[in-house]
Amino acid sequence: MDRKALIAYASKHGSTREIAERIRSLLKEKGVIFNIASIENVKKISDYSDVILGSALYIGRWDKRMVKFVKKNQEQLHGKRVWFFSSGPTEINELPEDMNAKHMSSSIKEIINFISPVDMACFPGCIDIEKLSIFEKWIVNKVDAPIGDYRDWTCIETWADNISKELNIK
């Protein structure tokens, strides 16, 4: 079958982009090629049958660019196989399924339900203090968020592996 696949990410400081790149390389190893792009560069999705969308979380929400994209393309996404992932929490004391519910972008819950994704994941993120603006540093300080790289590559690769299995059996 002539199938095209896309992975698009919304990342401010690069750590979500790196997660997207890791997912893409794992899928490539498994023989599934995904085009990859930053979300603002995705102009058209009609050619794609499988789409992975990943966004960083900022102040309880997905990156605005991802919210805009998902709102604008919801009808088309509804007809495709879609996977979502968020990356953000650095306070890791929750079960993955609780993290998913708690950190799902509240602004577009209904749209996500309408799109009916195959799966949604929420991965721990990374806060690199050197990259933050003064305002971001102030917020991180105010909420006492743990600084550091909490990304769990095994967990990310397991998730990507499940996608490859899903793609190979259909």
Ligand X SMILES: Cc1cc2nc3c(=O)[nH]c(=O)nc-3n(C[C@H](O)[C@H](O)[C@H](O)COP(=O)(O)O)c2cc1C
Contact footprint for ligand X (CB under 6 A)? 11-16, 56-60, 87-90, 103, 125-127, 132, 136, 139-140
Write down the least CB distance from residue 65 to ligand X, Å: 11
**Helix axis angle, 153-169 relative to 15-29, nearest 10°?**
40
What's the per-residue H, E or C state across 31-63? CCCCEEEEHHHCCCCCCCCEEEEEEEEECCEEC
- Tell which residue, 16, 37, 35, has the closest CA to residue 27: 35
Task: Give the Cα-Cα-Cα angle 109, 115, 120 (nearest 5 degrees).
Answer: 65
d(CA 101, CA 109): 10
Q: What are phi and psi of 12, to 5 degrees?
A: -90, -45
Minimum CB separation of residue 63 from ligand X in Å reads 7
Residue 11 C-beta: closest distance to ligand X, Å: 3
Q: With respect to ligand X, which residue has the nearer C-beta, 117 or 125?
A: 125
Least CB distance from residue 107 to ligand X, whole Å? Answer: 12
Closest chain position to ligand X (CB): 125
Give the nearest distance from C-beta 60 to ligand X in angstroms: 4
Q: Return the number of the residue (4 or 12) whose C-beta is nearest ligand X.
A: 12
- Closer Cβ to ligand X, 157 or 166, answer by number: 157
- CB closer to ligand X out of 60 and 79: 60
Which CB, 136 or 161, lies closer to ligand X? 136
Instruction: Using DSSP, state whether 64 is helix, strand or coil.
Output: helix
How many helices (H) and strands (E) the chain has is answered by 7, 8
Q: Which two tokens stand for residue 140?
A: 């991180």
